Amino acid sequence: VAARVLLGLSLEEKQFKDLAKTFEQLVENLFSLPLNIPFSGLRKGIKARDLLHEFMEKAIMEKLQRKNSEGYSDALDFLINSAKEHGKEFTMQELKESAIELIFAAFFTTASASTSLILLLLKHPSAVEKIRQELAECHCQPEMNLDKLSRLRYLDCVVKEVLRVLPPISGGYRTVLQTFELDGYQIPKGWSVMYSIRDTHETAAVYQSPPERFDPDRFGSARQEGAGRFHYIPFGGGVRSCIGQELAKAILKLLAIELVSTARWELATPGFPEMQTVPIVHPVDGLQLFFHPLQPEILPESCLPENIKGDTLDIRG
């Protein structure tokens, strides 16, 4: 989806698998020790990066030669056209890096959030029942669109709470544009500072219930605990907040609707997995689950996707 919608790339199955494998190798070695020796994480990461740059350069060249003959614009088109409107021209290196960043942001963070969604719904079955009840009351199925999604207020609260409790990215970096003071400390112009998404969500004074509690109702109309500008920042904040946040939330909502409407799920392991936060939030050994058809007398297995017919499914964020 990311390759198609954001970059306008049509990939064959083998190309997609190779691309996904290379991306995984890049992410796994993103925070490696700076040891430039054979078989080190740094070498593996550099190799993956070079392969991605080679692939992206070829794909971007083909795209530029087509000159948008398909009649619609994707995210990469907008980047290129926006630069031209401001009298600038992207170099091939900048285009390659932008393409990789778009795929990284759309693929890995959404995979992480999807895994967290499934995990937290499993831990909190009452939320699943409330989502099912809301779907029944809103008559939003079988056909779903953005207008119907916007009417599912409780589901929106659930997605927001998942992203608060387990934000895919732990924090971000910013460069100080002018010297300022924070809590008695002077932060000089030009410094790089890191803000923590996780710590902000765990310590913000606006929360009425304990921050460690999974409580979707904190985002309901009666409380609106995340209404402050920088109290709730799973997508960052300010002018550089994530441009893909609406797409990510829509994907999470559709995933939740599909799951609660067609299946129930349970752990395939003795206990819940430990969560690792670097480079993105994910279960250390994957989230292994059993998926079963919901009300099989009404929804026969033939109506369900192949991967949720009672088989074990290993979900890796």
Indicate the annotated binding residues: 242
Is residue 278 within 8 A of residue 299, CB to CB? The reply is: no
Q: Which long-range contacts (CB under 8 A, 24 or more apart) does 194-197 make?
A: 195/171, 195/233, 196/170, 196/171, 197/167, 197/169, 197/170, 197/171, 197/172, 197/233, 197/234, 197/236
Residues present in the chain in total: 317
Is residue 30 within 8 A of residue 44, CB to CB? The reply is: no
Q: How far apart are CA 147 and CA 168, in angstroms?
A: 26
- Binding residue numbers for heme: 242
Q: How far apart are CA 58 and CA 7, in angstroms?
A: 13
Q: How far apart are CA 244 and CA 215, in angstroms?
A: 25
Q: Which amino acid appears at position 181 of this protein?
A: E
Is residue 266 within 8 A of residue 122, CB to CB? The reply is: yes
Token output for 198: 């996780």
